[in-house]
Chains A and B, each alone.
Chain A
């Protein structure tokens, strides 16, 4: 790694921190500007009780002061505060619980999507215009255009209600099978199509022809030369995809009642659980920023021609 690369990475990290600060600031003020509040319910609580709660959680102070206190707590003590809705639990605890499940779900799904996508994409490229290529393309086109709530619901009806093979609840043993399938289908299809087109592009390059002419074996050409270069677009896609998939798919978690972070994210916004909204937003933003950074660096590893200037 040369000094240019190190400088580039440092610059990117600085930019990432700036991005996250902007996200925190914007979210904080927008969140407080939205009507309603965390202690608002169908049945109003007494003004005395409301006042007591606001004092307890420091919400009686001006918003800007609350913002500074929040920033200080997060930066100096990594303290995200307590959840206002799930009384007695800390934000980090709630997010930790949800993230463990969403991450497990997401990583398995991402792994499956990557392996199957690259394999199917390569097969399709090598078998261009043959039946198998056309079959893969039809299937992936269908999957890319079908939203996950349709796929999820179909799987739920088929495997849970009709066949009764699998549990329909993410909390039960084996309950993650259907959510994993639902979650992996779209990225798998997308990666298949990416791999196929970039593989076709690479296979048409001069250096592949040269290798062929030199009598290099077909497998060596594919795995030694073509594959590595055709994965660049996949890497660009894969980094941010992991961030999204790992931070919880709201739809899939809802359909299969998976206790992941996605459901928490939605409910904390509805409940105006301010510390939870901030916590989940920061985690999500950080992950996306990091994954983007990682995929940019991986670029360089895969393709030394890419210059960081």
Chain B
């Protein structure tokens, strides 16, 4: 009796459990081949093209909207920028005042997802909106190449626009024609047109401030419509049948699952529920490479992982007699020597393990030079290796020994260790990967008697500490927004919000140590022993207004030379984008900025 009772109770428990957990939705039908499920990241902050600044958001927007140009593959499988909403990507006309005007004609048959015609004025409206100070978009500065940006983006001390009626020099001549004037010609202009911030939005749609959070109010003009959005869970895009190029779009439905847990992504990928995941658990990289040789992908990404020094940190030994510019020169030499101590091949192959490329320059791999070659390969003093020092495996011992010899000039060396190098603290944001690299750097320095403590901070606190310059040496990383080296260089001007090194700030503001001579390029700038602001800032502003492509790139190399000479940036590796894609997916591609394109995919098992 008792046994029967416990059995009945146990059964009751199981039954109640099963009943409680039974899914209320019907079981999903066998996945149709015209549907793909992917997971890039968690809930996007926004999918308003003007407000977005994230890579996952940009991928969604690239499917939902159609700009004047777009990324595509040419017949040879090479990534190219091609016209999208524009009939062609015309050449600009140089005006008398040096500005340059582009005129674009829209293709016929362009429709918004609610059936209305796409007009030239929609682009003009969208650009003014995105650039305006009132919107406060992260990427508003993407319009700084367009004439009138300074007026549109200016605000007074109370946060109100200085010129509420200011407009960019962009004009809808008629419903089909857009005329836009740039302050100077920029090499990456066509690429900017393919950037989400430049996509059109319609005035009556965005009048509702919350338009981009709900499918019922979301009106787009691209290959897909926003079909549903279960927040924090799933975004579904469905093919827009009235899209002008709908015939080329092969994938009918894309499910973007919203999760940022790499282990969970991997479980769903292994089960076969998701065909692409944009992140993998760091500690599984090695085994995934062998377990999924064709599905584990390493793609190039325009970005650099580096260590940055606080330029105001005094690293000379206590009691050093060096002062002024002598001390500054010594610090530069010391920082550069320390950069030589680290074995980047070890970091890439044994710690990061994601196919990263050892780096010896700050401007990342993947950015092109004036002649179309890789910018980083032309950087640095030598033509026998890329960058500012040789990071080949074979060169490591020489580099290390050279560094020791340099350091011996400034510090006491007892035959094995330096005894009077001041103790430093390496700051990084909490993450196993950053910690592992920090520990490696620490062990190398400890080997020669330099004590470097490790300190980790939570992400937002870390950003704040680094920005404020309250650190001695810190982990850092930078990903390009567009394929132009300037996106790695203008961040180091004195007033830049990304100037973590504190060039020209604090004590460094008064340091008159830098020289710049541009007279050889026909530019009337020659400074000897000037401040950072008098040299580097001037150089960047000259690059920005330089119309000659060859000169412009030469100036950008000079800017990187200046940066690297300070030794404040110690590049470790160039980033890669790791993802997994099921073998059954064909026709997929991604661009160097990390956007992933599913519209032309098919699934063939």
Residue in A43, A54, A112, A181 whose CB lies within 8 Å of B159: A54
Q: Is B459 an interface residue (CB 8 A)?
A: yes
Question: What is the minimal beta-carbon distance from B218 to any residue of chain A, in angstroms?
Answer: 10
Tell me, in angstroms, the Cα distance from A257 to B212 when the chains sit together: 23
Q: Could you jot down 30 A-B contacts, CB within 8 Å?
A: A35-B460, A35-B465, A36-B460, A36-B463, A43-B498, A44-B467, A45-B140, A46-B140, A56-B136, A86-B43, A86-B46, A87-B51, A97-B231, A115-B13, A115-B16, A119-B12, A153-B263, A164-B271, A169-B273, A172-B273, A174-B21, A175-B23, A255-B261, A255-B263, A255-B264, A257-B257, A257-B261, A264-B232, A270-B459, A271-B460
Question: What is the minimal beta-carbon distance from A136 to any residue of chain B, in angstroms?
Answer: 10
CB-based contact B136/A167 at 8 Å: no
CB-based contact B13/A116 at 8 Å: yes
Q: Is A12 an interface residue (CB 8 A)?
A: no
A257 with B259, Cβ < 8 A, contacts A41-B138, A123-B6, A164-B272 known: yes
Residue of A nearest to B272 (CB): A164
Residue in B45, B138, B498 whose CB lies within 8 Å of A49: B138
Q: Among residues 142 to 177 in chain A, which have CB atoms less than 8 Å away from a CB atom of chain B?
A: 153, 156-157, 160-161, 164, 167-177
Tell me, in angstroms, the Cα distance from A86 to B210 when the chains sit together: 10
Residues in B whose Cβ lies below 8 Å from that of A256: 264
Q: Is B109 an interface residue (CB 8 A)?
A: no
Q: Is A37 an interface residue (CB 8 A)?
A: yes
Question: What is the minimal beta-carbon distance from B554 to any residue of chain A, in angstroms?
Answer: 27
CB-based contact B23/A176 at 8 Å: yes
Q: Is A213 an interface residue (CB 8 A)?
A: no
A168 with B264, Cβ < 8 A, contacts A108-B20, A116-B13 known: yes
A167 with B138, Cβ < 8 A, contacts A44-B497, A173-B25 known: no
Q: Is B555 an interface residue (CB 8 A)?
A: no
Residues in B whose Cβ lies below 8 Å from that of A201: none
Residue in A56, A60, A127, A259 whose CB lies within 8 Å of B233: A259
| Interface pairs A-B: 3 shortest CB-CB | A44-B497, A55-B159, A36-B460
Taking A37-B460, A85-B45 as given, write out 10 further A-B residue pairs in contact, using a Cβ cutoff of 8 Å, ordered by the A residue number. A43-B138, A48-B153, A55-B159, A56-B159, A60-B159, A87-B46, A87-B213, A171-B230, A172-B28, A257-B261
CB-based contact A170/B271 at 8 Å: no
Residues in A whose Cβ lies below 8 Å from that of B477: 42
Residue interface bits B269-303, CB-to-A below 8 A is 1, else 0: 01111000000000000000000000000000000
Residue interface bits B10-49, CB-to-A below 8 A is 1, else 0: 0011001100110101111000000000000011011010
Q: Is A17 an interface residue (CB 8 A)?
A: no
| Interfacial residues, chain A to chain B (CB-CB below 8 A) | 34-37, 40-56, 60, 85-89, 94, 97-98, 108, 111-112, 115-116, 119, 123, 127, 132, 153, 156-157, 160-161, 164, 167-177, 180-181, 254-257, 259, 263-264, 267, 270-272
Residue of A nearest to B213 (CB): A88
Residue of A nearest to B274 (CB): A169
Residue of A nearest to B44 (CB): A86
Residues in A whose Cβ lies below 8 Å from that of B230: 171, 259
Tell me, in angstroms, the Cα distance from A292 to B229 when the chains sit together: 36
Residue of A nearest to B157 (CB): A51
Residue of B nearest to A97 (CB): B231
Tell me, in angstroms, the Cα distance from A44 to B209 when the chains sit together: 24
Give the size of the chain B interface in residues (CB under 8 angstroms): 71
Tell me, in angstroms, the Cα distance from A70 to B204 when the chains sit together: 31
Residue of A nearest to B500 (CB): A44
Residue interface bits B204-236, CB-to-A below 8 A is 1, else 0: 000001111100000000000000001111100
Residue in B23, B258, B270 whose CB lies within 8 Å of A259: B258
CB-based contact B267/A41 at 8 Å: no
Question: What is the minimal beta-carbon distance from B300 to any residue of chain A, in angstroms?
Answer: 19
A49 with B46, Cβ < 8 A, contacts A36-B464, A41-B463, A161-B270 known: no
Tell me, in angstroms, the Cα distance from A175 to B224 when the chains sit together: 27
Question: What is the minimal beta-carbon distance from A160 to any residue of chain B, in angstroms?
Answer: 5
Residues in B whose Cβ lies below 8 Å from that of A34: 460-461
Q: Is B126 an interface residue (CB 8 A)?
A: no
A40 with B271, Cβ < 8 A, contacts A88-B210, A171-B233 known: no
Tell me, in angstroms, the Cα distance from A270 to B42 when the chains sit together: 14
Tell me, in angstroms, the Cα distance from A268 to B578 when the chains sit together: 26
CB-based contact A52/B42 at 8 Å: no
Question: What is the minimal beta-carbon distance from B12 to any residue of chain A, in angstroms?
Answer: 8
Question: What is the minimal beta-carbon distance from A141 to any residue of chain B, in angstroms?
Answer: 19
Question: What is the minimal beta-carbon distance from B303 to any residue of chain A, in angstroms?
Answer: 11
CB-based contact B461/A52 at 8 Å: no
Residues in B whose Cβ lies below 8 Å from that of A47: 497
Question: What is the minimal beta-carbon distance from B268 to any residue of chain A, in angstroms?
Answer: 5
Residue of A nearest to B24 (CB): A173
Residue in B213, B273, B460 whose CB lies within 8 Å of A86: B213
A37 with B497, Cβ < 8 A, contacts A46-B153, A171-B233 known: no
Tell me, in angstroms, the Cα distance from A54 to B158 when the chains sit together: 10
Tell me, in angstroms, the Cα distance from A94 to B231 when the chains sit together: 8
A169 with B268, Cβ < 8 A, contacts A35-B465, A255-B261, A257-B261 known: yes
Tell me, in angstroms, the Cα distance from A87 to B231 when the chains sit together: 13
Q: Is B9 an interface residue (CB 8 A)?
A: yes
Residues in A whose Cβ lies below 8 Å from that of B12: 119
Q: Among residues 461 to 502 in chain B, which have CB atoms less than 8 Å away from a CB atom of chain A?
A: 461, 463-465, 467, 477, 479, 481, 496-498
CB-based contact A160/B20 at 8 Å: no
Q: Is B53 an interface residue (CB 8 A)?
A: yes
Q: Is B547 an interface residue (CB 8 A)?
A: no
Tell me, in angstroms, the Cα distance from A257 to B141 when the chains sit together: 35
Residues in A whose Cβ lies below 8 Å from that of B231: 86, 89, 94, 97, 259
Residue interface bits B132-175, CB-to-A below 8 A is 1, else 0: 01111110110000000000011100111000000000000000
Q: Is B458 an interface residue (CB 8 A)?
A: yes
Tell me, in angstroms, the Cα distance from A265 to B220 when the chains sit together: 31
Question: What is the minimal beta-carbon distance from B4 to any residue of chain A, in angstroms?
Answer: 12
Residue of B nearest to A180 (CB): B21
CB-based contact A259/B232 at 8 Å: yes
Tell me, in angstroms, the Cα distance from A54 to B461 when the chains sit together: 19
Residues in B whose Cβ lies below 8 Å from that of A254: 261, 264
Residue in B212, B461, B481, B497 whose CB lies within 8 Å of A35: B461
CB-based contact A272/B460 at 8 Å: yes
Residues in A whose Cβ lies below 8 Å from that of B467: 40, 44
Residues in A whose Cβ lies below 8 Å from that of B135: 52
CB-based contact A44/B498 at 8 Å: yes
CB-based contact A170/B233 at 8 Å: yes
Tell me, in angstroms, the Cα distance from A271 to B461 when the chains sit together: 10
A173 with B497, Cβ < 8 A, contacts A49-B133, A56-B136, A161-B271 known: no
Residues in B whose Cβ lies below 8 Å from that of A156: 263-264, 267
Residue in A41, A55, A86, A168 whose CB lies within 8 Å of B271: A168
Tell me, in angstroms, the Cα distance from A211 to B463 when the chains sit together: 70
Tell me, in angstroms, the Cα distance from A263 to B261 when the chains sit together: 11
Residues in B whose Cβ lies below 8 Å from that of A55: 158-160
Question: What is the minimal beta-carbon distance from B146 to any residue of chain A, in angstroms?
Answer: 15
Residues in A whose Cβ lies below 8 Å from that of B23: 173-177
Tell me, in angstroms, the Cα distance from A43 to B155 when the chains sit together: 20
A51 with B28, Cβ < 8 A, contacts A112-B17, A115-B13, A161-B271 known: no
Question: What is the minimal beta-carbon distance from A207 to any residue of chain B, in angstroms?
Answer: 24
